[in-house]
């Protein structure tokens, strides 16, 4: 396997060496070096005086072992914690609702990836969210070994939120409560309708309350820090440190700052906040101006040692800093231009994690997305292809194997109708998936049905089948058969046969404006769940008339619920994906998958609502 370090301009330094340094003449700090392309370098402000920091550049080969965990300190000053908020901020993307099972699957995969902290959700949002965080805390947060991730729950600065967050995360080996309150002028006046003094008192009292519950690890975020008054920011951060906060997270909530500004913000907080040496500084950058990754790296260079990110960069509005971009930037350039910063992530699990999040949320990764996009390691230009044939380093700075991506047919296995289970499993493992037991058996028979109709089954075909067969929600309805009649001579008709969770057969017929419309109406007659179809899209996995078709749908439940943060009525939306060589079957599989996800979520909510009603005296 080719090392990522070998793709840089400097000589490769073996990662197995635990201590070796390469010293150069004094240059501006890593933060200054990073941001000098943005018109100025970072300066450290302390009271009325301002000074420019100059330090010796050090390229250091770090040991791969992560430092022992302590809530408010890291023994190696070059180590950077990765805080993943895919299950909380990422799930706030429209249509990204995940079931408890899906969240647990993602959390397990994040643990394999080696993230330091998993923000598992917002327990006060609903009893279903609390249950999901609790399950993750018990099953993922109580694993074997010393590298078990911290399990974190988000809470507003209120006792009810903090109580629920603690109830959910206290079962983990390393529990954390993350509480926040807005500190910018516009948020305090327009949203909170509170004075600075009231916000200060609320923040300090709630951090203190969280610690009083027995939680040893409390993170505090001043929401919209990027637009907050600096002096007030230093003051409130100093007070929450005194109240017991162990991590201070600095969010660029609306993605407003540019790298030089955000790096300077972190540097100023580090220089002017009383007690800052007793906590970890964290970043949380949104991507409204497309600068989330750059801002995050600038923050790390300026002294932040926890970086909050999401898989595929999903999240509110334009999303968050992308885990894969931040981690690979540190892996690729950390030794040489980012001051020797490194993380404890197992980057070979990036591709599998990205694919899982994409399938469960229904949020497709754009083809040209850095690191995980389908075009990230594709070369079509003749000049580029010529360079790649001569030496891969000509146009690739990262080895695809470093993120768990295997180029097609590296093992020499060509799948066809005569291929057996072992060949399929070997190909699946080559593609970065670990599937066995019943899931492998079900996938094998799906594969055989496709192989009977195609001369060669490609890697893309296998990935589509894995997504359709494995990354599916709890089954309430299972598609058995579809028969359609359509054309220009009359109305399209469809007959659909579904099996319910008890194995009982249900058949319905309907007419529609086309075969898919007719089939969806037939499904509605069986399921009897009123929904609205918001989005429908289809694409061919490969070229050719015999390509597998993948379908994505987004549906919205017709009943409303109250959004916990805004108190406004909202309709949840749910995504579903399907894959088949027949476009109608692919479409129906996607629709049934979305219905299953919605029914699973509604069942969980209903169960907790009944529990609450039965407990009322």
Which range is least confidently modeled, 114-123, 148-157, 402-411?
402-411
Distance CA 492, CA 515 (A): 5
Instruction: Tell me what percent of the residues of the chain surpass a pLDDT of 90.
Output: 59
pLDDT at residue 34 tops 60: no
**What are the tens digits of pLDDT across the range 208-233?**
999 999 999 999 999 999 999 999 99
Query: What pLDDT score does 514 carry?
Result: 95
The whole-number average pLDDT for the span 416-432 is 82
Lookup result for tokens 């390229």: 59
Q: Do residues 128 and 564 lie in contact, with contact meaning Cβ atoms separated by under 8 Å?
A: no
**Phi-psi category of 559—alpha, beta or left, where left has phi over 0 and alpha has psi -120 to 50?**
beta
pLDDT band of residue 253 (cuts 50, 70, 90) is very high
Report which of residues 418 and 136 the model is more confident about: 136
CATH superfamily of 478-614: Alpha-isopropylmalate synthase LeuA, regulatory domain (3.30.160.270)
Query: What pLDDT score does 407 carry?
Result: 60
Query: What pLDDT score does 47 carry?
Result: 43
pLDDT band of residue 388 (cuts 50, 70, 90) is low
Indicate the burial class of 595 (C-beta count within 10 angstroms; 0-12, 13-18, 19 or more).
Answer: buried
Instruction: Give the single-character DSSP code of 188.
Output: I
Q: Is the dihedral of CA 586, 592, 596, 602 positive or negative?
A: positive
Which range is least confidently modeled, 171-185, 298-312, 376-390, 468-482?
376-390
Query: What pLDDT score does 562 carry?
Result: 53
For residue 431, give every residue at least 6 positions away whose Cβ sits within 8 Å of its Cβ, in sequence order, or none.
406, 459, 462, 463, 466
pLDDT at residue 4 tops 60: no
The whole-number average pLDDT for the span 314-318 is 94
Instruction: Tell me what percent of the residues of the chain surpass a pLDDT of 70.
Output: 82
Residue boundaries of the structural domains of the chain: 81-361, 382-469, 478-614
Distance CA 285, CA 305 (A): 14
Q: Do residues 400 and 407 lie in contact, with contact meaning Cβ atoms separated by under 8 Å?
A: yes
Indicate the burial class of 4 (C-beta count within 10 angstroms; 0-12, 13-18, 19 or more).
Answer: buried
Q: Residue 367: what are its φ and ψ, rounded to 5°?
A: -55, -35
Report which of residues 494 and 603 the model is more confident about: 494
Query: What pLDDT score does 520 carry?
Result: 97
The whole-number average pLDDT for the span 302-315 is 97
Report which of residues 551 and 474 the model is more confident about: 551
Which range is least confidently modeled, 29-33, 193-197, 526-530?
29-33
Report which of residues 95 and 305 the model is more confident about: 305
**What are the tens digits of pLDDT across the range 187-214?**
999 999 999 999 999 999 999 999 999 9
pLDDT at residue 17 tops 50: no
The whole-number average pLDDT for the span 134-153 is 94
Angle at the Cα of 28 from the Cα atoms of 22 and 31, rounded to 5 degrees: 95
Instruction: Specify which residues 497 forms β-bridges with.
Output: 481, 507
pLDDT band of residue 393 (cuts 50, 70, 90) is confident
Query: What pLDDT score does 563 carry?
Result: 54
pLDDT band of residue 560 (cuts 50, 70, 90) is low
- The CATH architecture to which 81-361 belongs is Alpha-Beta Barrel (3.20)
3-class DSSP string for 17-77: CCCCEEEEEEEECHHHHHHHHHCCCCCEEECCEEECCEEEEEEECCCCCCCCCECCECCCC
pLDDT at residue 154 tops 90: yes
Report which of residues 43 and 354 the model is more confident about: 354
Nearest residue to 508 via CA among 498, 500, 593: 498
Q: Supply the mean pLDDT for the chain.
A: 84
Nearest residue to 599 via CA among 469, 477, 503, 496: 477
pLDDT at residue 78 tops 60: yes
């Amino acid at each position: 396997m080719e090392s990522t370090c070998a793709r840089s301009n400097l000589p490769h330094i073996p990662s197995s060496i635990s201590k070796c340094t390469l010293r150069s003449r004094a240059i501006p700090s890593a933060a200054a070096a990073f941001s000098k392309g943005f018109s100025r370098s970072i300066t450290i402000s302390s009271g009325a005086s301002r000074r420019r920091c100059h330090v010796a550049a050090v390229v250091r080969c770090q040991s791969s072992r992560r430092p022992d965990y302590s809530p408010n300190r890291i023994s190696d000053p070059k180590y950077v914690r990765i805080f993943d908020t895919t299950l909380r901020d990422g799930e706030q993307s429209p249509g990204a609702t995940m079931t408890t099972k899906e969240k647990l699957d993602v959390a397990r995969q994040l643990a394999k990836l080696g993230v330091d902290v998993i923000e598992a959700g917002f327990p006060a949002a609903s009893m279903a969210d609390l249950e999901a965080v609790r399950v993750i805390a018990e099953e993922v947060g109580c694993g074997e070994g010393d590298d078990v991730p911290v399990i974190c729950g988000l809470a507003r600065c209120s006792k009810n939120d903090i109580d629920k967050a603690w109830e959910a995360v206290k079962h983990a080996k390393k529990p954390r409560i993350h509480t926040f309150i807005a500190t910018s002028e516009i948020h305090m006046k327009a949203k909170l309708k509170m004075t600075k003094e009231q916000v200060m008192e609320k923040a300090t009292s709630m951090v203190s309350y969280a610690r009083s519950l027995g939680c040893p690890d409390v993170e505090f975020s001043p929401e919209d820090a990027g637009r907050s008054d600096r002096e007030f920011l230093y003051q409130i951060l100093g007070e929450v440190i005194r109240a017991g906060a162990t991590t201070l997270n600095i969010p660029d909530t609306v993605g407003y700052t540019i790298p030089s500004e955000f790096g300077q913000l972190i540097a100023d907080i580090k220089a002017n906040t009383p007690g800052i040496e007793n906590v970890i500084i964290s970043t949380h950058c949104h991507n409204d101006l497309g600068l989330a990754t750059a801002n995050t790296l600038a923050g790390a260079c300026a002294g932040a040692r926890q970086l909050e990110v999401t898989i595929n960069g999903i999240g509110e509005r334009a999303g968050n800093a992308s885990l894969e971009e931040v981690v690979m930037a540190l892996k690729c350039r950390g030794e040489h231009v980012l001051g020797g910063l490194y993380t404890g992530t197992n980057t070979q699990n990036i591709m599998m994690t990205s694919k899982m999040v994409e399938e469960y949320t229904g949020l497709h990764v754009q083809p040209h997305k850095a690191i995980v996009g389908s075009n990230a390691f594709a070369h079509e230009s003749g000049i580029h292809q010529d360079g790649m044939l001569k030496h891969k380093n000509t146009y690739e700075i990262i080895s695809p194997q470093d993120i768990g991506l295997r180029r097609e047919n590296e093992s020499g296995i060509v799948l066809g109708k005569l291929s057996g289970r072992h060949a399929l499993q070997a190909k699946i493992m080559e593609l970065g998936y670990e599937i066995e037991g019943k899931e492998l058996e079900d996938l094998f028979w799906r594969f055989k049905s496709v192989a009977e109709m195609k001369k060669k089954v490609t890697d893309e075909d296998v990935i589509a089948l894995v997504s359709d067969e494995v990354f599916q929600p709890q089954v309430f309805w299972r598609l058995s058969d579809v028969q359609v009649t359509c054309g220009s001579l009359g109305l399209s008709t469809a007959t659909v046969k579904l099996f319910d969770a008890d194995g009982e057969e249900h058949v319905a017929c309907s007419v529609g404006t086309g075969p898919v419309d007719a089939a969806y109406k037939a499904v509605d007659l069986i399921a009897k769940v009123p929904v609205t179809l918001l989005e429908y899209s289809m694409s061919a996995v490969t070229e050719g008339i015999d390509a597998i078709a993948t379908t994505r749908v987004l549906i919205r439940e017709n009943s409303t619920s109250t959004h916990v943060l805004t108190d406004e009525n909202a309709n949840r939306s749910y995504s579903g994906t399907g894959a088949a060589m027949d476009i109608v079957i692919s479409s129906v599989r996607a629709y049934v998958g979305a219905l299953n996800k919605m029914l699973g979520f509604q069942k969980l909510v209903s169960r907790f609502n009944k529990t609450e009603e039965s407990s009322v005296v």
